[in-house]
């Protein structure tokens, strides 16, 4: 019943804004919704808020071409691009050298672009479209870290570099 109700509710929400929705209780005592009033059962008309809508994006490869100066200008793709969840005023305690950092990007990451970490001036790990990135077995001591947005092999934008210190247990 739960899955069917969810599908029915989604279907009802997809109706044009001019459609009327009726809420009623069926013979088994379940709340039901319909776009037609039920026969012989009192029904309440529902006032629905306006539907959310998004602008349709053109298929890949059919995007509106941008001027070369606009496309290649550094720093104009994202208003905000920064690392989060990494201490800069105190040492990062990671006994095995493994920890996760967050990425904040405004607007959201655009497909097919990906995030890539830059640890101590070198690309680190595999690019990802997920704004949580893991670093594994990082040596103790001071390091620098930044995040890049890349589109294939092309650098779109890079965040400010953060300097931090990893503190971990010494393993002889």
Pair (39, 89) in one structural domain: no
Residues 6+ apart with CB under 8 A from 150: 113, 114, 115, 116, 127, 156
- All residue ranges of the chain with pLDDT < 70 are 1-19, 48-76, 170-172
- pLDDT given for residue 40 in this prediction: 84
Range of the domain at 10: 2-46
Pair (108, 157) in one structural domain: yes
* Closest to 91 (Cα-Cα) out of 159, 169, 171, 172: 169
- pLDDT given for residue 73 in this prediction: 44
Q: Which residues of 72-102 are buried (b: 16+ CB within 10 A; e: fewer)?
A: eeeeebbeebebeeeeeeeebebeebebebe
- Does residue 144 sit within a domain? yes
Pair (6, 75) in one structural domain: no
Q: How many domains does the chain have?
A: 2
Pair (39, 121) in one structural domain: no
Count of CB atoms within 10 A of residue 25's CB?
14
Cα–Cα distance, 21 to 33 (Å, whole number): 7
- Does residue 28 sit within a domain? yes
* Closest to 171 (Cα-Cα) out of 94, 119, 101: 94
- pLDDT given for residue 2 in this prediction: 60
Pair (22, 95) in one structural domain: no
Pair (89, 149) in one structural domain: yes
- Does residue 150 sit within a domain? yes
- Does residue 56 sit within a domain? no
- Does residue 83 sit within a domain? yes
């Amino acid at each position: 019943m739960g899955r069917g109700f969810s599908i029915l509710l989604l279907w009802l929400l997809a109706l044009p804004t001019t459609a009327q929705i009726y809420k009623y209780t069926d013979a088994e005592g379940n709340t039901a919704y319909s776009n037609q009033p039920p026969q012989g059962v009192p029904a309440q008309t529902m006032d629905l808020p306006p539907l959310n809508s998004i602008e349709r994006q053109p298929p890949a490869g059919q995007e509106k071409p941008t001027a070369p100066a606009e496309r290649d200008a550094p720093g104009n793709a994202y208003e905000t691009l920064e690392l989060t969840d990494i201490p800069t005023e105190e040492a990062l305690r990671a006994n095995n050298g493994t920890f996760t950092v967050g990425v904040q990007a405004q607007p959201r990451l655009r497909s097919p672009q990906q995030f890539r970490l830059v640890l101590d001036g070198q690309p680190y790990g595999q690019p990802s479209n997920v704004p949580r990135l893991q670093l594994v077995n990082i040596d103790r001591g001071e390091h620098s870290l930044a995040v890049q947005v890349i589109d294939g092999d092309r650098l779109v934008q890079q965040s400010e570099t953060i300097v931090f210190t990893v503190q971990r247990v010494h393993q002889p």
